Amino acid sequence: MTRRAMVRGVGHYLPERVVPNAWFEDKIDTSDAWIKSRSGIERRHFAAEGETTSQMAAKACRAALAMAGLAPDDVDAIIVATSTADLTFPSAATMVQAELGMTRGFAFDVQAVCAGFVFALSQANALILSGQAERALVIGAETFSRIMDWEDRGTCVLFGDGAGALLLEDTEAVGTNDDRGILTTDLHSDGRHRDILYVDGGVSTQTTGVLRMQGKEVFRHAVEKLAATAHASLEKLGLNGDDVDWMVPHQANLRIIKSTAQKMGLPMDRVIVTVQDHGNTSAASIPLALSTGVANGQIKQGDLIVTEAIGGGLAWGSVVLRW
Ligand code: UT7
């Protein structure tokens, strides 16, 4: 007998405002055709004025709690993966805790940029398996529209806002790959590559800064490292691409997603793709894709899922779980 962190609920929130590619055409030198063909993105959501990361995160949590039939005080830990918290401190997670009316447990943020949700899942798994929490809300939530350089056509057309949440619960299991819950995780970072994707401001510089990216360089690392980490996770379990029901990748670029799927030997009908509707929502993209996949009836109980992401740092990793 062993224990697993099993998914009990999932939910998401997207801001009301949908911005199609055409919106950019009279603002910068770009086109719907370029954005679609180079990234797969067709539209994205932008948060309303005054709408914050923690507010969106709390809405996603309420949906996940409702699916699980649980109340906020049934939860022991809240982890928010974000690079766009409302304030420098306190954490977005404690704001979510207060917003949910939760008066117990503990809450903190994880910052691994676009890989943040994979890192947060891994931390929640460790908390549950070490007995520090029985139930954890793991959230990816971002307002990347607030850190765009609206004159940089190479970045501002790519990102969007939103939030997704999973509710994980400590569950008794057999100790085989047939168990439901998180089966393994694989995390990496390499700070030597910090200059290819970063925000050029922060607390010490007394500015918020805007996102800077060498797209081609990041692309090159992504196609190599995402398949490698997904393979490594599956290998730890003695599994390979054939065993996977769904790949749920970070949604940055359809070409990266297709290339990773091909390297995994997975046809695209076993890949959850939401990049066309959400753009790149950084740490929110995986829980948004999981929640969308469940809502669409694609992901079902018992499915084996591999999820992977890469982002600023560079930081990257993967998680294999059975839904
Ligand atoms: O989530 C974190 C991880 N992030 C990623 O995974 C992003 C990885 N990178 C990418 O997705 C792609 O590199 C981009 C979508 C950002 C760019 O695609 P690309 O095929 O690598 O294009 P590029 O940057 O090499 O640019 C090709 C051309 C350039 O023009 P020249 O120099 O060939 O004349 C760019 O100036 O396209 C131009 N360009 C644009 N044209 C129209 C760049 N952005 C735009 C734009 N509209 N928005």
Q: Does domain 181-322 have CATH number 3.30.2390.10?
A: no
CA of 4 to the centre of ligand 1 (A): 41
Instruction: List pLDDT tens digits, range 207-256.
Output: 999 999 999 999 999 999 999 999 999 999 999 999 999 999 999 999 99
Residue ranges covered by each domain of the chain: 2-173, 181-322
Give distance in angstroms: CA of 67 to centre of ligand 1: 39
Whether 2-173 shares its CATH topology with 181-322 is answered yes
- Catalytic annotation on 156? no
Burial class, 17, CB count within 10 angstroms (exposed 0-12 / middle 13-18 / buried 19+): middle
Which atom of ligand 1 is found nearest the CA of 282? Answer: 1
Return d(Cα 251, Cα 279) in angstroms, integer.
7
- Could you tell me what percent of the chain has a pLDDT over 90? 99
pLDDT surpasses 90 at 175: yes
Q: Give, in words, the CATH class of 2-173.
A: alpha beta
CA separation (Å) from 18 to 25, 144, 164, 215, 312? 15, 14, 17, 24, 26
Task: Tell the burial category of 183 from Cβ atoms under 10 Å away from its Cβ (0-12, 13-18, 19+).
Answer: buried
Decide whether any atom of ligand 1 lies within 6 Å of the 280 Cβ: yes
Query: What mean pLDDT value characterizes the chain?
Result: 97
Contact 240, 265 (CB under 8 A): yes
Ligand 1 contacts CB of residue 216 (under 6 A)? yes
Q: Does residue 114 have an active-site annotation?
A: yes
Q: What is residue 1's predicted lDDT score, i.e. its pLDDT?
A: 84
User: Is the distance from the beta carbon of residue 279 to the nearest atom of ligand 1 less than 6 Å?
Assistant: no
231 catalytic? Reply is no
pTM exceeding the 0.75 threshold for the entire prediction = yes
